[in-house]
Amino acid sequence: MVSSKKLADAHILLVEDEPSCRHAVTTLLEREGATVSITENAEEAVKLMKSVEVEAVVTDIKLPGMDGISLLEHIKEANENLPVIMMTGHGSINSAIEALKLGARDYLIKPFGDDSQLINSVWKAIEHYRLTVRNTLLQEQLKESEETFRTLFNNASDAIFLNQLNAYGNICRFSEVNNLACTRLGYNLQEMNSKTLIDITAPEHRENVERIIKSLPQREHITFETIHLKKNGERIPVEINAHIFTLKGRKAVLSIARNITERREIEKQIAEANEKESRHIGQELHDVLCQDLASINMLTSVLKKTLISESSAGIRDAELISELASTAVTSARRLSTGLFPAELEDGGLASALEHLAINAEQLFHTPCRFTNRCSMEVSDKSVALHLYRIAQQAVNNANTHGMAKNISISLADKDTGVILTVEDDGSGIPPGNGQRQQGMGLQIMKYRARIIGAVLTISMRSSGGTIVECTWQ
């Protein structure tokens, strides 16, 4: 049951040398539920406060030895928030002003005209003191919490960016970044706070990042990969975990960026190992199986001539064996070319793409042309191979899924890099269209693009069909 007494649970120190007044004040305070510690002089009061915690001090001004004003000064030096209520039977304006200037909570004249005067004064003083102590404690906890957060924030193993969105959903400048973000990108804190997430993104990825950020209000959370640019222009592949929330009444985005350079390198090595194995199988098909099948075809032709000269009944069988061997040679060579694009090694990416178009037209009986408008050579063989495989997969998709009637492959300059485009007039692959957009072939193309830090986009042609674009810088 909650007590109705105003001073319940309060601990008060009373300093009064006059017995009758001391008894009267003690009775009033205890009647309201207070615990009262009593001393007759200021010196004893100072000693007592070192061992006993009180919430208010009620003291007479005129005391033997150290007076109440000196006691007030001593208390305020030790604890400036502890309320001190001064009493005197010889009140003067000057003494009241002096006491209040030194920090006294109240100044009362004895005898009290009304018992409630003292009780209300002490109660208000204690309530204010408790609020002050509570506020100080909360401020200390908040400061400690902020220091803990700041320590964790600045010692995180990933770069952290915080920015708000404007009314149009566009991303604003960073309001917070951690130390790693500055160190990784080579900017100081002031420079970082003048930038946005788009500013530190590689140019060819900015449109995609803007689109992702604008979609966050509907998705709340998203993980994606992109390329960050250091101050010196160096590129860093990152995986960003972005989350939108409300901060101070506005939408804000928290982005945690993990450096995935090592992961990309491992993926690249795995892909290269797979390509090496495919190349080996392709060479085996070309150098061994194709040669063996060609030999069988030649021997069958010799056998056929012999059987004709002898008018043997096995002529038709020999013809059939020759036809099958010829077909097998053609199929093996196509497989060999698909597994091991020799033109890529000999003539570069443009030459390999030209042969891809020729072979695709022969294989699928669909017109397929290649246009080269690229002035630069993709010297990185790994990048060239992944671009070739992306084009190869796009052509296969256009024929097997899109039922295209015409296919075009083009390679062109794009800023400091190249853009590979495969376009068809088939049924199309609408972006985000469930399984078709998430098919294995498309996922492999996206995976290859990520490995080399390229941007892959798939869109519908206005007249029907699909456009696959891969931009590499």
Residue 45 has pLDDT above 90, yes or no: yes
What is the residue-wise DSSP string for 171-196? Answer: EEEEEEE-HHHHHHHT--HHHHTT--
- pLDDT at position 96: 79
The answer to whether 68 and 17 have CB atoms below 8 angstroms apart is no
Any idea where the domains of the chain sit in the sequence?
A: 11-149, 159-259, 261-340, 346-473
Confidence of residue 382 (pLDDT cuts 50, 70, 90): confident
Residue 231 has pLDDT above 90, yes or no: yes
Phi, psi of 356 (to 5 degrees): -60, -45
Residue 181 has pLDDT above 70, yes or no: yes
- pLDDT at position 293: 66
Round to whole Å and give the CA distance between 13 and 117: 18
The answer to whether 91 and 108 have CB atoms below 8 angstroms apart is no
Residue 316 has pLDDT above 90, yes or no: no
pTM check: above 0.75: no
Residue 2 has pLDDT above 60, yes or no: no
Round to whole Å and give the CA distance between 372 and 387: 14
Q: What is the pLDDT of residues 399-432, one digit of tens each?
A: 888 888 999 999 998 877 899 999 999 887 654 4
- pLDDT at position 3: 53
CA-CA distances (angstroms) from residue 34 to 37, 52, 55, 194?
10, 15, 10, 58
The answer to whether 203 and 473 have CB atoms below 8 angstroms apart is yes
Query: Over pLDDT 90: what percentage of the chain?
Result: 34
Q: Is the dihedral of CA 143, 146, 148, 151 positive or negative?
A: negative
Residue 204 has pLDDT above 80, yes or no: yes
The answer to whether 197 and 216 have CB atoms below 8 angstroms apart is no
- pLDDT at position 258: 92
The answer to whether 209 and 216 have CB atoms below 8 angstroms apart is no
Q: How many CB atoms are located within 10 Å of the residue 36 CB?
A: 19
CA-CA distances (angstroms) from residue 25 to 32, 40, 70, 136, 260?
11, 13, 22, 31, 75
Does residue 432 or residue 304 have the better pLDDT?
304
Q: Long-range contacts for 166-173 (Cβ within 8 Å, ≥24 apart)?
A: 169/213, 169/214, 169/217, 169/251, 170/210, 170/214, 171/196, 171/197, 171/198, 171/210, 171/213, 171/253, 172/196
Q: What is the pLDDT of residues 17-33, one digit of tens each?
A: 999 999 999 999 999 99
Number of H helices, E strands in the chain: 16, 15
- pLDDT at position 286: 58
Phi, psi of 467 (to 5 degrees): -120, 120
59, two tokens: 């003291």
Average pLDDT for residues 328-340, to the nearest whole number?
Answer: 61
Does residue 173 or residue 382 have the better pLDDT?
173
- pLDDT at position 164: 87
Round to whole Å and give the CA distance between 52 and 16: 18
Q: Which fold has domain 346-473?
A: Heat Shock Protein 90 (3.30.565)
The answer to whether 45 and 2 have CB atoms below 8 angstroms apart is no
Residue 112 has pLDDT above 90, yes or no: no
Average pLDDT for residues 100-125, to the nearest whole number?
Answer: 88
The answer to whether 202 and 166 have CB atoms below 8 angstroms apart is no
- pLDDT at position 313: 62
Round to whole Å and give the CA distance between 97 and 252: 53
Residue with tokens 């946005």: 196
- pLDDT at position 455: 86
Q: What is the CA radius of gyration of the chain?
A: 43
Q: To the nearest 5 percent, what fractions of the chain are helix, strand and coil?
A: 50, 20, 25
Round to whole Å and give the CA distance between 161 and 173: 10
Q: What is the pLDDT of residues 67-86, one digit of tens each?
A: 999 999 999 999 999 999 99
The answer to whether 234 and 261 have CB atoms below 8 angstroms apart is no
The answer to whether 254 and 162 have CB atoms below 8 angstroms apart is yes
What is the residue-wise DSSP string for 66-87? Answer: S-HHHHHHHHHHH-TTS-EEEE
- pLDDT at position 1: 44
Q: Calculate the average pLDDT of the chain.
A: 83
Q: How many CB atoms are located within 10 Å of the residue 265 CB?
A: 12
Q: Is the dihedral of CA 109, 114, 117, 119 positive or negative?
A: positive
The answer to whether 397 and 357 have CB atoms below 8 angstroms apart is no
- pLDDT at position 436: 44
Assigned CATH for 159-259: 3.30.450.20
- pLDDT at position 332: 62
Residue 385 has pLDDT above 60, yes or no: yes
171, two tokens: 């991303």
147, two tokens: 């220091």
Assigned CATH for 11-149: 3.40.50.2300
Provide the residue type at 97 as one letter: I
Query: Over pLDDT 70: what percentage of the chain?
Result: 84
Residue 394 has pLDDT above 60, yes or no: yes
Residue 292 has pLDDT above 80, yes or no: no
Angle at 438 between CA 433 and CA 444, to 5 degrees: 140
